[in-house]
Chain A
Amino acid sequence: MSRSVDRPDTADRYRFRLFVAGTAPRSLRAVESVRRICEAHFAGRYELEIVDIYQQPDLAARDGIVAAPILLKIAPQPERRVAGDLLDAERILRGLNIPSAAEAER
């Protein structure tokens, strides 16, 4: 369930992992929202892996997942986590410690 965009520039490349619990409306909302935000801000330079913890509980244990939905920024380091239904793009970017597109242009 991953989707990557072909772009070799790894230094500036973002890797995200989104954990959701099944197909509850909250999960679907979160997936949709994260995809939208990624496309808007990191188009062409991100990888997004979506994990359903019901399907892959071992991955949840590996990454120490307690709350769901939760978005992990795996690269670049340091790792950051944002929990919730992930609807507010500004707060997500701030939580992931990523300057938003508007800030980056400034």
Chain B
Amino acid sequence: MPDQRVTQPLPKAPTGIEGFDDLTFGGLPAGRPSLFCGSAGCGKTLFATTFLVNGATRYGEPGVFMSFEERAEDLAANVASLGFDLDGLVAQGKLAIDHVRVERSEIEETGEYDLEGLFIRLGFAVDSIGAKRVVLDTIETLFAGFTDPSLLRAELRRLFGWIKDRGLTAIITGERGEGQLTRQGLEEYVSDCVVLLDNRVDDQITTRRLRVVKYRGSAHGTNEFPFLIDHAGISVLPVTSAELDYAGPTGLIFTGIDGLDAMLGPGGFYRGSSILVSGTSGTGKTMLAASMVDAACRRGERCLIFAFEESGGQIARNAASIGLDLDAHSKSGLLRFEAARPSLYGLETHLARIHRDLDQFRPDLVMIDPISALRGPATELQAALLRIIDLIKTRGITAIFTTLRSDGSLITDHDLGVSSLMDAWVKLQNMEANGERTRTLYVIKARGMSHSNQIREFLMSSGGIRLIDAYIGTAGVLTGTARIVQEAREQAEAQRRQQENKRRLREVVRRRAALDRQLEELRASLEAAEDEEARLRADDEWRMAADEVERRELIARRRAAE
């Protein structure tokens, strides 16, 4: 591989096909022929037509379509559904279509001949509109029309040389052959760029794939890439990016469910994180996710829902029952549903569709409901999921994946495999006890934030989703009716205790009042006693004083008598 930084980079002609120009780092080799091979119906002609139409409309490079199979009017009709107006382009002089009809029965051969007629016609068409691009579709048909293959080979070699000399960027299509890329081994002559298109059926599901077999003088993606053909034309998706260099987003995204936000340390999930909502059927996964979507839409963010089990209308209707008006968001253009049965396409095609829709719609929040619906061989499934997650993550989009838990209590391999890729995992569980089921919710993990490790009861009503703290106490964890019964019991107990307290309080008050009364009486007695004592003492003093006087009088009297 030559070093691109030192040598002059190979000039390239962009095809304008989404993804293809990325994986070839710019497009097809400019001024050279490229070979597109594949079996019937794999999209060769469409690829080639798109190359020409984009050249004419976007890059100012007129093109010549030399068709060896379809007539010009058939060709125009076939691609009209993609919005290509071939007739219009022909009228504007941006496109020339020449149908080369070759049928063996019509031509007898005698002696030497060459394909100068083809050269002349191609040259004439190229000169008439100043074409820079050429498509030869499918030139191998010539081998059916002429008997001398060695002559044809020599002429084709000359033709490809001629294309190169004229500096035309060309696509040559070829049917897939046994043991080689094309039936007639065209790859020997067109050696600059060879692209293989494939239409593979696995488990009755078709996936279109594309591989750049060789690209002389240029780096290119070497893997097989899925591609799509639908009303939007061709899109090729280099979806194997395995890098982990996305920025760690820090903003918060609120779930719209107060109770759930409250369970998370920062008060919401991190923006750009992947959130797994797991639970068996009927646990409310879709509605939980729909609540988050609704909250996002109400904040004015764009949301994209990939639904694999229900139609968009059904999800919207069901969400309406818990008071979410998703229809209004659809109408305002903030919300888009992409519903498809998982079995409709192969994994790769689903992946490709998701890729394309993400780039077209540019959502802030994506909901995939449920990823467990995607079917395929275990190894492929794991890889595909990984790529879906990467795809979303690298774009900084917050994603909610729902998954059905096949097993009620144990973590199955599948979940384990996916959950390790997720940043947050909310587990919904039906608890069965006392003849009833109650929805419960745990936050199993939330990377980079503290979160509640406790169970919450999960209620859905016309007012939306509400989380209630489950009863956790001496009687264990109780939910539903059991919780209500236990709560009632506790309430009764509390009331009883309260009444008992009041009674005792009253008694104490009474007793205290009695004591107070006694105290009062005693105090009165004490006062009486004190009075008595004082009176007695006063009496005593008076008597003593009187006695003294009397004694003195006696003495005085005695002296007088002396």
Give chain A's interface residues, CB within 8 Å of chain B.
Answer: 19, 21-22, 26, 53-54, 57-58, 60-61, 64-70, 79-88, 91-92, 94-96
Can you pick out 22 interface pairs between chain A and chain B where the beta carbons lie within 8 Å of each other?
A21-B114, A57-B121, A58-B124, A60-B121, A61-B121, A61-B125, A65-B121, A66-B100, A66-B121, A66-B142, A67-B113, A67-B114, A67-B115, A68-B115, A70-B107, A82-B108, A83-B108, A84-B109, A84-B110, A85-B113, A87-B110, A88-B110
Q: Which of A79, A85, A94 contacts B108 (CB 8 A)?
A: A94
- Would A67 and B107 count as touching, CB distance under 8 A? yes
List of A residues within 8 angstroms of B120 by Cβ: 21, 53-54, 57, 60, 65, 68
The bracket for how many chain B residues form the interface is: 20 to 34
Distance in angstroms between the alpha carbons of A57 and B122 in the assembled complex? 9
List of B residues within 8 angstroms of A64 by Cβ: 99-101
Distance in angstroms between the alpha carbons of A83 and B100 in the assembled complex? 16
Smallest CB gap from A29: residue in B: B111
| Nearest CB of chain B from residue A19's CB, rounded to whole Å | 7
Distance in angstroms between the alpha carbons of A91 and B123 in the assembled complex? 32
| Nearest CB of chain B from residue A92's CB, rounded to whole Å | 6
Most chain-B CB neighbours within 10 Å: which of A66, A81, A96?
A66
Let me know if B473 is at the binding interface, CB within 8 A: no
| Nearest CB of chain A from residue B140's CB, rounded to whole Å | 13
Restricting to B60-115, which residues have a CB under 8 Å from any CB of A? 98-102, 106-115
| Nearest CB of chain B from residue A80's CB, rounded to whole Å | 7
List of A residues within 8 angstroms of B112 by Cβ: 26, 84-85
List of B residues within 8 angstroms of A69 by Cβ: 113
Q: Residues 116-136 of chain B: 1 if any A CB is under 8 Å from the residue's CB, otherwise 0?
A: 111011011100000000000
Q: With A66-B100, A66-B145 as given contacts, are A82 and B110 in contact (CB-CB < 8 Å)? A: yes
Smallest CB gap from A89: residue in B: B110
Give chain B's interface residues, CB within 8 Å of chain A.
Answer: 98-102, 106-118, 120-121, 123-125, 142, 145-146
| Nearest CB of chain B from residue A1's CB, rounded to whole Å | 17
- Would B110 and A60 count as touching, CB distance under 8 A? no
List of B residues within 8 angstroms of A57 by Cβ: 120-121, 123-124
Q: Which of B110, B117, B142 contacts A65 (CB 8 A)?
A: B117
Q: With A60-B117, A67-B117 as given contacts, are A86 and B123 in contact (CB-CB < 8 Å)? A: no
Distance in angstroms between the alpha carbons of A91 and B118 in the assembled complex? 24
List of B residues within 8 angstroms of A60 by Cβ: 117, 120-121, 124
- Would B102 and A66 count as touching, CB distance under 8 A? yes
| Nearest CB of chain B from residue A73's CB, rounded to whole Å | 11
| Nearest CB of chain A from residue B4's CB, rounded to whole Å | 40
- Would B110 and A68 count as touching, CB distance under 8 A? no
Distance in angstroms between the alpha carbons of A29 and B111 in the assembled complex? 11
8 nearest A-B residue pairs (beta carbon): A95-B108, A57-B124, A84-B111, A21-B116, A65-B117, A85-B111, A84-B110, A68-B116
List of B residues within 8 angstroms of A79 by Cβ: 106
List of A residues within 8 angstroms of B121 by Cβ: 57, 60-61, 65-66
